[in-house]
């Protein structure tokens, strides 16, 4: 963990203090991703198989979620497991049903009507991480809003499970509960390439889901290809910033930071605190809580990238947060509303000691697939509208055309586009 006194840093030092782990944009990662994509574009499914056997030591498989498969998976789970799953899916579905975009009709002026109409995209690829942890929560956070949007083809890809390669029972149960009929057991950059070119899985028009550095780079590269898929957001290794004042509970702050540090060795957590006392108290709690975690080794590697930043006040904390643009932002301060008013860049904000980021990860309702690496400066998190597109229907009657034609023709001629002008003129001559 590195400590900083924000007011003592110059511009270059502040930029360095908020830098993400270098491996997230490692040239070696980019080179491997391009090799995988070149192979899959040239050889198709055979290249996906070869890369999967090299990286995951297992060839891709397709698992049909028929009644016997789903029943067998559910039998391995407790009643409490299934009840928690049902609550999560219900909350996510309710939230996205409530915010689903609706057709809007506007009469710009008499005789001129414009409607914005929404339609679901035809297909989406949903990448569900499973390398170090089976993130069935991500499956819910993607498959449920995609279903609310009305996406016809939802293609789920996830790495094979440990041992025999079978997915975790909760992956199967969550997929079935969200109406998914098939799982493709393939992970990593090769899964993104497969979705891009339709190699062994259907081709996806848009690819969703977080992942490690290779998956994130693969999504970025796929979107750059001519005719390539659209992607949801740059969603790489997890990150959390906590803004805390002297009233914050150091145990809670440390627990929240560790909840994201245990995700991935490339995850990054940042504490922005208004006093040296809270910085030191949280640092001690991190040292006390980390060793007892089952994923302590991962958390400790992540904490090596952690930042502990001392600021003068909440206003300066807002400046730090806006500069970093965190995926997750937790506010552990006494007076939150004035602080929220100053915040512009964040994937999701969790307000107060009761609002654990963990609740957002699993069960509140909004999707936990959020922009990372500073992308929150311009991107929003995944929501039902991410699985939809809109277009405008413009309709004019004679009254509207006569009202608009002279101005439209004049503007067209000012741009030197005579045919445009005549297309307006001819309607009213």
CA dihedral of 232, 235, 239, 244, whole degrees rounded to 10? -10
State the residue range of the domain holding 413. Answer: 397-425
pTM score, whole prediction: 0.93
Residue of 168, 327, 357, 368 marked catalytic: 327
Rounded (10°) CA dihedral 132, 136, 142, 147: 150
Tokens 């390398």 identify what position? 131
Cα separations in angstroms, 352 against 264, 309, 331: 25, 19, 6
Q: Is 38 inside any structural domain?
A: no
H helices present in 204-270, as ranges: 213-224, 250-261
Q: With respect to residue 321, please indicate whether it lies within any of the assigned structural domains.
A: yes
- Tell me the Ramachandran region of residue 188: left when phi exceeds 0, alpha when psi lies from -120 to 50, beta otherwise: left
Number of domain units in the chain:
3
Candidate from 26-30, 138-142, 167-171 with smallest mean pLDDT: 26-30
Same domain, yes or no: 231 and 241: no
327 is an active site residue: yes
Q: Examine the pLDDT at 343 and tell me if it is beyond 80.
A: yes
Question: Is residue 23 scored above 70 in pLDDT?
Answer: no
The predicted structure's pLDDT at residue 25: 66
Do the domain assignments include residue 27?
A: no
Same domain, 364 and 416: no
Q: Is residue 24 part of a domain?
A: no
Residue 375 within a domain: no
Q: Dihedral of the CA atoms 291, 295, 298, 299 (nearest 10)?
A: -50
Same domain, 193 and 334: no
Residues β-bridged to residue 43: none
Token pair 């004042």: residue = 245
Whether residues 176 and 53 fall in one domain = yes
Q: Which of 263, 328, 357, 368 is catalytic?
A: 328
For position 162, what pLDDT does the model report? 83
Domain co-membership, 263 together with 328 = yes
Instruction: Please check whether residues 14 and 137 belong to one and the same domain.
Output: no
- Does residue 113 form part of some domain? yes
Higher pLDDT, 134 or 302: 302
Which band of pLDDT confidence, cut at 50, 70 and 90, is reported for residue 24?
low
Average pLDDT, the chain: 96
Query: Could you tell me the CATH number of the domain that includes residue 131?
Result: 3.40.50.1980
What's residue 133's pLDDT?
A: 76
Q: How far apart are CA 251 and CA 257, in angstroms?
A: 10
Q: What is the pLDDT of residues 373-404, one digit of tens each?
A: 999 999 999 999 999 999 999 999 999 999 99
Question: What does the pLDDT read at residue 236?
Answer: 80
If one compares 269 and 211, the residue with the highest pLDDT of the two is 269
- In the chain, the N- to C-terminal Cα span, in Å, equals 75
Answer yes or no: do 169 and 297 share one domain. Answer: no
Closest CA to 143 of 92, 100, 191: 92
* Co-location of 352 and 245 in the same domain: yes
Q: What is the pLDDT of residues 241-299, one digit of tens each?
A: 999 999 999 999 999 999 999 998 989 999 999 999 999 999 999 999 999 999 999 99
The answer to whether residues 202 and 302 belong to one domain is no
Least confident of 206-215, 318-327, 349-358: 206-215
- Distance CA(320)–CA(342), nearest Å, equals 11
pLDDT of residue 237: 85
Residues whose CB is less than 8 angstroms from the CB of residue 35 and which lie 6 or more positions away in sequence, other chains included: none
Is residue 239 flagged as an active site residue? no
With CA atoms as reference, report the closest residue to 356 among 188, 267, 211, 242: 242
Q: Dump pLDDT digits (tens) for 91-119.
A: 999 999 999 999 999 999 999 999 999 99
Identify whether residues 193 and 243 lie together within a single domain. no
pLDDT tens digits, 51-87: 999 999 999 999 999 999 999 999 999 999 999 999 9
The reply to whether 307 and 324 lie within a common domain is yes
Residue 315 forms part of a structural domain: yes
Rounded to whole angstroms, the Cα distance separating 286 from 288 reads: 5
Whether residue 263 lies inside any domain: the answer is yes
pLDDT, tens digit, for every residue of 123-132?
A: 999 999 986 6
Same domain, 91 and 215: yes
Average pLDDT on 300-309 reads: 96
């Amino acid at each position: 963990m590195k400590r900083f006194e924000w007011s003592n840093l110059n511009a270059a030092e502040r930029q360095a203090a908020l830098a993400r782990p270098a491996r997230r944009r490692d040239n070696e990662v980019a080179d491997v991703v391009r090799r995988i994509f070149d192979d899959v574009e040239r050889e198709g499914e055979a290249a996906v198989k070869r890369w999967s056997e090299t990286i995951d030591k297992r060839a891709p498989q397709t698992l049909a979620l028929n009644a016997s498969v789903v029943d067998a998976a559910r039998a391995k789970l407790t009643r409490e497991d299934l009840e928690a799953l049902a609550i999560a899916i219900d909350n996510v579905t309710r939230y996205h049903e409530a915010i689903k975009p609706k057709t809007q009709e506007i009469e710009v002026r008499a005789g001129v009507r414009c409607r914005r109409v929404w339609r679901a995209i035809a297909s989406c690829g949903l990448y569900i991480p499973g390398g170090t942890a089976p993130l069935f929560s991500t499956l819910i956070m993607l498959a449920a809003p995609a279903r609310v949007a009305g996406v016809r083809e939802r293609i789920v890809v996830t790495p094979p499970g440990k041992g025999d390669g079978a997915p975790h029972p909760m992956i199967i149960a969550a997929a079935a509960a969200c109406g998914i009929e098939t799982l493709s057991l393939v992970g990593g950059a090769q899964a993104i390439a497969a979705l891009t070119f339709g190699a062994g899985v259907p081709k996806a028009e848009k690819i969703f889901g977080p992942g490690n550095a290779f998956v994130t780079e693969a999504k970025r590269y796929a979107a750059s290809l001519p005719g390539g898929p659209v992607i949801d957001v740059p969603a790489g290794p997890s990150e959390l910033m906590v803004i805390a004042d002297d009233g914050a509970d150091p145990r809670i702050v440390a627990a929240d930071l560790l909840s994201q540090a245990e995700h991935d060795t490339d995850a990054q957590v940042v504490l922005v605190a208004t006093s040296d006392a809270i910085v030191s108290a949280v640092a001690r709690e991190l040292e006390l809580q980390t060793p007892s975690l089952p994923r302590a080794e991962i958390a400790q590697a992540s904490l090596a990238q952690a930042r502990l930043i001392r600021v003068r006040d909440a206003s300066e904390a807002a400046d730090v947060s806006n500069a970093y643009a965190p995926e997750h932002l937790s506010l552990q301060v006494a007076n939150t509303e004035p602080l929220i008013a100053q915040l512009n860049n964040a994937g999701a904000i969790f307000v107060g000691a009761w609002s654990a980021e963990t609740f957002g990860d699993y069960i509140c309702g909004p999707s936990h697939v959020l922009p990372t690496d500073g992308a929150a400066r311009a991107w929003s998190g995944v929501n039902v509208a991410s699985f939809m597109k809109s277009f405008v229907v413009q309709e004019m009657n004679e009254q509207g055309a006569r009202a608009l034609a002279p101005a439209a023709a004049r503007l067209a001629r000012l741009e030197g586009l005579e045919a445009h002008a005549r297309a307006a003129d001819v309607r009213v001559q």
